[in-house]
Amino acid sequence: QVQLVESGGGVVQPGRSLRLSCAASGFTFSSYGMHWVRQAPDRGLEWVAVMSHNGIYEYYRDSVKGRFTISRDNSKNTLYLQMSSLRPEDTAVYYCAKDPSSSGYDVFDHWGQGTLVTVSS
């Protein structure tokens, strides 16, 4: 069965960096688009970024553009989110989510359990 396991969360000071990982199993990772979605108590669910199956296409929400970078290693079945210049408003549980399409233009059909990122001094 599809399994997505996030890691890399923690407490980080504003302005610092953090890299999240999402280890995938139970499906052909290289065939599907993948997303990062976050959830903060006061802002609900927010889509963050998407990458197509082959890594050619990527899109970001405006508030993270230029600060966050999504990437994937299909040989390791792993999705990444490199976060830099972190702000307190980036504090959230970060989920990786699988897309049923290769492009990443569809919905989120499977989700990981999430990893908590807290940005605080």
Partner 1 sequence: EIVLTQSPATLSLSPGERATLSCRASQDISNFLAWYQQKPGQAPRLLIYGASSRATGIPARFSGSGSGTDFTLTISSLEPEDFAVYYCQQRGNWPRTFGRGTKVEIK
The binding site for partner 1 (CB under 8 A) comprises 35, 44-47, 50, 59, 61-62, 95, 105-114
Q: Which is nearer to partner 1, 44 or 75 (CB)?
A: 44
Shortest Å, Cβ 42 to partner 1: 11
Of 47, 85, 80, 43, the residue nearest 66 (C-alpha): 85
Q: Which is nearer to partner 1, 16 or 43 (CB)?
A: 43
Distance CA 78, CA 98 (A): 12
What residues contact 121, with CB distance under 8 A and at least 6 apart? 13, 14
Shortest Å, Cβ 61 to partner 1: 4
Tokens of 36: 């990062």
Shortest Å, Cβ 95 to partner 1: 6
Q: Which is nearer to partner 1, 58 or 77 (CB)?
A: 58
Distance CA 7, CA 32 (A): 20
